[in-house]
Amino acid sequence: MSNAILVLFAHPALQRSRVQRALAKAVRDLEGVTFHDLYEAYPDFDVDVAREQALLAAHDVVVLQHPLYWYAAPPLVKQWFDLVLEHGWAYGARGTALVGKRFLCAVSAGGDEAAYCAEGENRFSLRQLLAPVEQTARLCGMEFLDPFVVYGTHALGEDEIEAAAAAYAARLGALRGAER
Amino acid sequence: MQTGFFFQALVYLCAAVVAVPIARRLGLGSVLGYLLAGAAIGPFALGLVGREGADVLHFAEVGVVMMLFLIGLELEAVRLWALRGALLGLGGIQVVATSLAIGVTALALGAEWRVALVAGLVLALSSTAIALQSLREKGLARTDAGERAFAVLLFQDLAVIPMLVLLPLLGAHAAGAGGAAHGATAIDALPAWGRALATLAAVAAIVLAGRFVVPPLFRAVARSGVREAFTAAALLLVVAIVLLMQSVGLSPALGTFLGGVVLASSEFRHELEGDIEPFKGLLLGLFFLSVGASIDFGVVAANGASVAALVVGLVAVKAAVLLALGRAARLSAEQNLLFAAALAQGGEFAFVLFSLAAQGGVLAPEEADLLVATVALSMAATPLLLLGWERAVRPRFGARRAAREPDAIDREGPVILAGFGAFGSIVGRFLLANGVETVVLDADSDHVALMRGFGIRAYYGDASREELLRAAGAERARLLIVATGSLETMRKVIHTAKHDFPKLRVAARARSRVEAYELLDAGADAIYRASLDTALRSGADALRALGFPAYHAHRAAQRFRRHDEASWRELAAVRRDERVFQSRARESLQLLERLLREERDVPDPVDDNAWDAASLRAERARRDATDC
Nearest CA in chain B to A14: B549
Give the residue from B533, B541, B548, B551 with the most A CB atoms within 10 Å of its CB, the best one to mutate: B551
Kindly give, in sequence order, each residue whose CB lies less than 8 Å from that of residue B283, ignoring residues fewer than 6 positions away.
B59, B60, B62, B63, B66
Q: Over 90: is that where the pLDDT of B70 sits?
A: no
Nearest CA in chain B to A15: B549
Nearest to B617 among A13, A15, A154 (CB): A154
Give A-chain residues touching B615 at CB under 8 angstroms: none
Give the residues across from B441 on adjacent strands. Answer: B418, B459
From 1.10.3720.10, 3.40.50.620, 3.40.50.360, 3.30.530.80, which CATH number describes the A5-177 domain? Answer: 3.40.50.360
Nearest CA in chain A to B614: A154
CA distance B557 to chain A (A): 11
**B549·A14 Cβ contact <8 A:** yes
CA distance A121 to chain B (A): 14
Q: Give the residue among B80, B132, B410 at the shortest CA–CA distance from B262.
A: B80
The arithmetic mean of pLDDT across residues B9-24, rounded, is: 84
Percent of chain A as helix, strand, coil, to the nearest 5: 40, 20, 40
Q: What angle do CA B591, B595, B596 make, to 5 degrees?
A: 120
The arithmetic mean of pLDDT across residues A110-134, rounded, is: 92
pLDDT tens digit string along B299-352? 788 888 888 888 999 999 999 999 998 888 888 888 888 899 899 998 877 877
Nearest CA in chain B to A109: B613
Residue B90 CA to residue B94 CA, distance in Å, equals 6
Residue A56 CA to residue A51 CA, distance in Å, equals 9
Give the residues across from B508 on adjacent strands. Answer: B482, B527
Please count the CA atoms within 13 angstroms of the CA of A122 that sit on its side-chain side: 22
Phi and psi at residue A151, in whole multiples of 5°?
-90, 165
What region does B473 belong to: left with phi over 0, alpha with psi -120 to 50, or beta? Answer: left
Give B-chain residues touching A40 at CB under 8 angstroms: 549-551
Residue B149 CA to residue B91 CA, distance in Å, equals 9
Q: Which DSSP state fits B210?
A: I
- pLDDT-based confidence at residue B606 (cuts at 50, 70, 90): low
- Per-residue 3-state assignment (H helix, E strand, C coil) for A73-127: CCHHHHHHHHHHCCECCCECCCCCCCCCCEEEEEEECCCCHHHCCCCCCCCCCHH
Per-residue model confidence (pLDDT) at position A46: 94
Residue B628 CA to residue B618 CA, distance in Å, equals 16
The arithmetic mean of pLDDT across residues A105-128, rounded, is: 92
**A40·B551 Cβ contact <8 A:** yes
Kindly give, in sequence order, each residue whose CB lies less than 8 Å from that of residue B263, ignoring residues fewer than 6 positions away.
B72, B73, B210, B214, B215, B269, B272
Cβ of A75 under 8 Å from any chain B Cβ?
no
Please count the CA atoms within 13 angstroms of the CA of B459 that sit on its side-chain side: 27
Nearest to A40 among B550, B616, B620 (CB): B550
Give the residue from A21, A36, A40, A46 with the most B CB atoms within 10 Å of its CB, the best one to mutate: A40
Give B-chain residues touching A16 at CB under 8 angstroms: 611-613
**A110·B551 Cβ contact <8 A:** no
Q: Over 90: is that where the pLDDT of B16 sits?
A: no
CA distance B613 to chain A (A): 7
Residue B549 CA to residue B603 CA, distance in Å, equals 18
Decide if B177 contacts B240 (C-beta within 8 A): no
Give B-chain residues touching A47 at CB under 8 angstroms: none
Determine how many CB atoms are found less than 10 A away from the CB of residue B190.
13
Nearest to B608 among A13, A17, A155 (CB): A13
Q: Which residue has the higher pLDDT, B189 or B36?
A: B36
CA B255 from chain centre, in angstroms, equals 19
Residue B463 CA to residue B153 CA, distance in Å, equals 33
Kindly give, in sequence order, each residue whose CB lies less than 8 Å from that of residue B99, ignoring residues fewer than 6 positions away.
B120, B121, B123, B124
Q: How far apart are the first and last CA of chain A?
A: 11
Show the beta-strand stretches assigned E in B468-554.
Answer: 479-482, 505-510, 526-529
Kindly give, in sequence order, each residue whose CB lies less than 8 Å from that of residue A76, ignoring residues fewer than 6 positions away.
A10, A12, A38, A39, A42, A45, A47
Nearest CA in chain B to A10: B551
**B608·A153 Cβ contact <8 A:** no
Bridge-based pairing of strands B479-482 and B458-460 is unpaired
Cβ of A94 under 8 Å from any chain B Cβ?
no
Cβ of A117 under 8 Å from any chain B Cβ?
no
Type of residue at A5: I
What value does the mean pLDDT of chain B take? 80
Cβ of A114 under 8 Å from any chain B Cβ?
no
Per-residue model confidence (pLDDT) at position A180: 56
Determine how many CB atoms are found less than 10 A away from the CB of residue B282.
16
3-state secondary structure of A69: strand
Decide if A52 contacts A36 (C-beta within 8 A): no
**B613·A110 Cβ contact <8 A:** yes
Nearest CA in chain B to A45: B551
pLDDT tens digit string along A128-178? 999 999 999 999 999 999 999 999 998 899 999 999 999 999 999 999 987
Residue B182 CA to residue B550 CA, distance in Å, equals 79
**B551·A13 Cβ contact <8 A:** yes
Q: Which DSSP state fits B343?
A: H
Determine how many CB atoms are found less than 10 A away from the CB of residue A44.
12
* Structural domains of chain B, with CATH: 15-403 (1.20.1530.20), 409-601 (3.40.50.720)
Q: Which residue has the higher pLDDT, B272 or A96?
A: A96
- Highest-scoring range by mean pLDDT, A73-87, A112-126, B504-518: A73-87
CA distance B562 to chain A (A): 16
Per-residue model confidence (pLDDT) at position B191: 67
Nearest to B611 among A12, A40, A43 (CB): A12
Decide if B472 contacts B440 (C-beta within 8 A): no
Phi and psi at residue A17, in whole multiples of 5°?
-105, 135
- Element (DSSP H or E) covering residue A63: strand A61-67
**A39·B549 Cβ contact <8 A:** yes
- Element (DSSP H or E) covering residue A143: strand A143-144
Determine how many CB atoms are found less than 10 A away from the CB of residue A138.
13
CA distance B423 to chain A (A): 23
Percent of chain B with pLDDT over 70: 86
Residue B63 CA to residue B139 CA, distance in Å, equals 20
| Alpha-carbon distance values, B259 to A86, B70, B202 (Å) | 55, 10, 11
Give the residue from B543, B611, B612, B623 with the most A CB atoms within 10 Å of its CB, the best one to mutate: B611
Residue B393 CA to residue B336 CA, distance in Å, equals 11
pLDDT tens digit string along A59-106? 999 999 999 999 999 999 999 999 999 999 999 999 999 999 999 999
Q: Over 70: is that where the pLDDT of B403 sits?
A: no
pLDDT tens digit string along B408-440? 334 456 899 999 888 999 999 899 888 888 889
Phi and psi at residue B245, in whole multiples of 5°?
-65, -45
Residue B239 CA to residue B246 CA, distance in Å, equals 11
Residue B257 CA to residue B567 CA, distance in Å, equals 56
CA distance A141 to chain B (A): 32
Give the residues across from B161 on adjacent strands. Answer: none
Nearest to A43 among B550, B612, B620 (CB): B550
Determine how many CB atoms are found less than 10 A away from the CB of residue B94.
27
Cβ of A152 under 8 Å from any chain B Cβ?
no
Decide if B368 contacts B389 (C-beta within 8 A): no
Nearest CA in chain A to B544: A40
- Highest-scoring range by mean pLDDT, B370-374, B480-484, B566-570: B480-484
- pLDDT-based confidence at residue B50 (cuts at 50, 70, 90): low
The arithmetic mean of pLDDT across residues A104-123, rounded, is: 92
ipTM for this prediction: 0.84
Nearest CA in chain B to A76: B551
Q: Over 80: is that where the pLDDT of B239 sits?
A: yes
- DSSP letters for B78-103: HHHHHTHHIIIIIIHHHHHHHHHHHH
Q: How many residues are present in chain A? A: 180
